[in-house]
Structure 1
């Protein structure tokens, strides 16, 4: 071997060692962030500072894993073995379909290992409790939403009116009850796997999208995709971003249709959750990186404006809703939670939702487009975290963001990382009794 070749090999070895060292440090930070969040939370709970949270930073209780978790564990093990192979070898459309099916099965099996798929939506403080108030007059209810906000359940008071109207729609068609609502939420939430993969293919190529599929389908965030409305928000947001990118390709009719669809979906996000406003940074970054044509962007903006105009015409003004919800939040016990603790503990929860593979992948190089969208999601989360309005209960709030940040997991080297993600999800489901 020539001296030049030896030098190249030596540099390669040193570079790989450096990357391994960075990965090890990232995993230590990931573990210490989670452990520190629980340790500090336990102390604050014992002192009575966090009396409304029994397992801070999570809003739940500790429980002993039950045997009912075994089917999910068995499926997770099988998925770790076969899904990466199928995602790599099948035709891309079939790979998307198989990954979506895997996401559905993994999410449902996790949910039924505890209280069942629909149990979280039966809580008296959840959205379904207000459907009798909507009755047969959704427009009348919408027009009076801000005025009657103090009379509504906790989740309704903390959000714009669109989540209630979403759940009202299948009930109005005769598909009433928490099970139908749960099926809708899980189906849309898991479809983010497909939407994000389509976006990644446009940003970093098909190979990058195929590598991401197993991590999207087996994300630890699946614990809270079944069943919280935030999973529905995640699906809506992901498809909005995907349609925006797809709107830059193909014929004029396709561009117009995708652009308008993207605008409607993305424009609906602030009416689904006030906490999704920072999420809009993601489609902005994606549009820039993917060089979405100006006409597609303008069509999307038109669709978003149409959503705002429709709500205003129906009698709901978004700024008035923000002010009314902020007043309810300020009077709620959650507002008294310590800001500084949750400033870092919220990130500990994000670490749990995204898993160790994400921590490892953040230290590795990858397609620039993928890293850009991950960075956008991280910045959006940090902005929401610093704002102080997310003091606890973020295990569901972070779900739409965690799916994009979790793309970094696909950059982690080796085949062990999907297993690490599955184990993380099983531990969260088995050890935490969550109201969502």
Structure 2
């Protein structure tokens, strides 16, 4: 038997590192490229939007690519959000890595709600319910809905026929949210305060729902890495109190249920979760027509696992909701057609399709932040790409449809979680998290938004 001896390396200078891999950019240059690309889209959206607004203020893109106006108003009122941002930067990655899974989900929901509320409180606590009290919003449509309900046709049966008489945001959506507000009012829970709590609480569900979906499709480690970015995302500026936050939360829960269904090992659990997912997504469709493109993400999940039975049960759940609304008098395709006609005859007629392909992305890029672009550039996990690719496909369909011309900082909120999942590729990067936090604070302190 022979033995080999290992000759120790003589002391001397360390070997020079080899050349960088040509297949992947160095992290520093990749970060610069991500920020540059993100900023370029926003600048392009600004230039096009500014030119349009200069010619015709009725395009209502006063702070292109965002809706609103530039108004620097940093004050002590934003201190709560600043403190929470500092705590998030210091502790969120560690908490996300070590907390028990159930605790992480509850903490993600509560902290996400607090982040949105503290950002909005930068304009004073009265700013929280203010957007929902606008004459363009749902609460302003309740008297008209009451009158329709007392008439011969009823609220749902007459909804499409009298759609032009409703406030702007009611015109642009199915009757689901207005119906919910009416029920709450009947229970003695009407008004802006309850609506505000409902919107914020529902919108904050998006982060834990996306974590559940990411864990089911990829793994728990990926979900934990993405958790701080999902909770502390720049789009939280519009979470309190845009009704789109409610649509975000409900649709995210529906997609999460579908992700759990296609990956469940137990047949009964798979069937029950698929049916529940279909029901929730059916409800989401009757809250916002803009939820429909997320069907591409659900379809990707079904094809990935070849889950025909899951798809059939989910479709059954969705059909139940559609049939219930149809029996009550509201047929979803008719509502979409009427809304499309009103939209194209209204503000969309002043918003050029081609220009808003860029302006839309500029506003949306502000809502998701530069970390998403960096995550996309670094992402190699095909499982996460399944969710992110579905999210990108949904954005593409919404973009090309022409039904979203501006205001995508809030209208496309339901797509944001499925792009933010790519931040799992950034690891526990505090630098990228700091950029996301700073962006939210800057937008809140410098942009006066109607939502």
TM tier, smaller: over 0.9
Q: Distance in 1 between matches of 2:287 and 2:87?
A: 35
TM-score by length of 2: 0.90
In the alignment, structure 2 segments of 5+ residues that lack a partner are: 1-7
Q: Distance in 1 between matches of 2:109 and 2:285?
A: 26
Q: 2:324 aligns with which of 310, 314, 332?
A: 310
Let me know the Cα RMSD of the aligned residues.
2.3
CA positional deviation for 1:50 = 5.5
CA positional deviation for 1:15 = 5.3
Partner of 1:268: 283
Cα-to-partner distance string for 1:262-289 (whole Å, 9 max, x where unaligned): 0011122332222221121111112333
Give 3-state SS (helix, strand or coil) of 2:404's partner.
Answer: coil
Cα distance, 1:7–1:17 mapped onto 2, change above 3 Å? farther
In the alignment, structure 1 segments of 5+ residues that lack a partner are: none
Q: Distance in 2 between matches of 1:363 and 1:131?
A: 46
Partner of 1:92: 101
Q: 1:131 aligns with which of 130, 133, 142?
A: 142
Correspondence list, 1:412-431, <5 A: 412-413=426-427, 414-431=429-446
Correspondence list, 1:15-414, <5 A: 17-18=25-26, 20-48=28-56, 51-67=59-75, 68-114=77-123, 115-135=126-146, 137=149, 140-248=154-262, 249=264, 251-289=266-304, 291=305, 293-413=307-427, 414=429
Q: Distance in 2 between matches of 1:162 and 1:405?
A: 26
- The answer as to whether partners of 2:181 and 2:195 remain within 8 angstroms in 1 is yes
Cα distance, 1:270–1:51 mapped onto 2, change above 3 Å? closer
Equivalent residues, number: 432
- The answer as to whether partners of 1:107 and 1:226 remain within 8 angstroms in 2 is yes
- The answer as to whether partners of 1:247 and 1:292 remain within 8 angstroms in 2 is no
Give 3-state SS (helix, strand or coil) of 1:391's partner.
Answer: coil
Q: Distance in 2 between matches of 1:50 and 1:363?
A: 38
Cα-to-partner distance string for 1:10-38 (whole Å, 9 max, x where unaligned): 36655564454344222211111112221
CA positional deviation for 1:252 = 4.2
Q: Distance in 1 between matches of 2:350 and 2:225?
A: 43
Q: Distance in 2 between matches of 1:51 and 1:287?
A: 40
Q: Distance in 2 between matches of 1:292 and 1:318?
A: 29
- The answer as to whether partners of 1:23 and 1:359 remain within 8 angstroms in 2 is no
CA positional deviation for 1:254 = 2.8
CA positional deviation for 1:430 = 1.1
Cα-to-partner distance string for 1:334-354 (whole Å, 9 max, x where unaligned): 331122211111111111011
Moved more, 177-186 or 45-54: 45-54
Moved more, 255-264 or 181-190: 255-264
- The answer as to whether partners of 2:35 and 2:370 remain within 8 angstroms in 1 is yes
CA positional deviation for 1:171 = 2.0
CA positional deviation for 1:367 = 2.3
Cα-to-partner distance string for 1:211-237 (whole Å, 9 max, x where unaligned): 111111001010111111111111111
CA positional deviation for 1:49 = 6.4
**Whose radius of gyration is greater, 1 or 2?**
2
